[in-house]
Amino acid sequence: MLEQLTILAPGLLGGSVARAAHARKLAKRIVIWARRPEVRDQLRAQPWCNQVFDTPEDAVRSACLVVLAAPVEKIVELARQIAPALPPGAIVTDVGSVKSELCRACTTAMPSHATFVGSHPMAGSQKTGWENSTENLFEGRTCFVTPLAGTPSAAIETVASFWREVGSNVATLTPDQHDEIVAHISHLPQAIATTLCSFLAQKKDAWRDFAGGGLRDTTRIAASDATMWIEIFQQNRDEILRALNEFQNELHGFSAALANREWDELRTRLESGKTYRDGFKS
């Protein structure tokens, strides 16, 4: 059990980390800092929060494990801000969706007696904010842990164990591998769902009311928070562009097969897609 778990700037993910750790008794104390005073007051009333501080520095002074739960473009800044206040042996992680630059910058920001190990729990919802957090958000979901080459293995194991204890399946990868993978399995689908919706938004309103389950499912994530996604597209721009270009080539091949009435080619694509999708667990 951790003496003190500190969560900085909790939203949906940070709040869920606190609730999950509380429910599973993973820390003696759960300490939080939030940017806005009114949120700090609300958090003080939560049963899964032992103490709320008015500055991030004060919140980390006695922390064993710190989770930086701020929006992805604020994480490095927050790591730099808390660095002088971190106690010896402190381990710092985050929940950011993009890892390469972030992990290098956060590692550089750390004092010699503290260690940064990046994390990215693949959990979330269209909903945002700590009010929507739940103690089971991470159960059965992948959590990437993304150490650099020089990261001490004890710190990696502390972070990986923590995510396993809240129910995640941990995958340990380099930050670069991580960014390539999520560009394909998370950011590309978001670009596609958004584009399908922004395209259909130009058509007659009534069409939407005819939508079946297929369109509903295919577009669900288009309802996600635009500000969060702008940050992800900014941070992982190069990998997403690569994935988008390759996907556009694949879609062009589909269109060409249809235009040329190459039914065998179209069948191969439909069957390849079906085989891939049938292989999803559960």
Number of helices and strands in the chain (H, E): 13, 9
Q: Is 25 in the site for a second copy (CB under 8 A)?
A: no
Q: Which of 6, 158, 219, 235 binds a second copy (CB under 8 A)?
A: 219
Answer whether 173's CB lies under 8 Å from 230's CB: no
Sign of the C-alpha dihedral computed for residues 231, 232, 235 and 241 taken in this order: negative
Burial of 233 (0-12, 13-18, 19+ CB in 10 A): middle
CA distances from 223 to 1, 53, 216, 218, 246 (A): 38, 33, 11, 11, 25
Closest to a second copy by CB, 153 or 255: 255
Q: Which of 128, 132, 142, 172 binds a second copy (CB under 8 A)?
A: 142
Q: What is the C-alpha separation between 255 and 258, in angstroms, rounded? A: 5
127 binds a second copy (CB under 8 A): no
Nearer to a second copy, 112 or 255 (CB): 255
DSSP annotation of 61: T
Check residue 132 for interaction with a second copy (CB under 8 A).
Answer: no
195 lies in the binding site for a second copy (CB under 8 A): yes
Q: Which of 141, 148, 164, 174 binds a second copy (CB under 8 A)?
A: 141
CB 175, min distance to a second copy, A: 15
> Is residue 239 a contact partner of residue 180, using CB atoms and an 8 Å limit?
yes
Q: Supply the minimum distance, in Å, between the C-beta of residue 228 and a second copy.
A: 9
By CB under 8 A, the residues from 226 to 245 that bind a second copy are 226, 229-230, 233-234, 237, 240-241, 244-245
Task: List the one residue from 55, 108, 161, 272 that touches a second copy (CB under 8 A).
Answer: 272
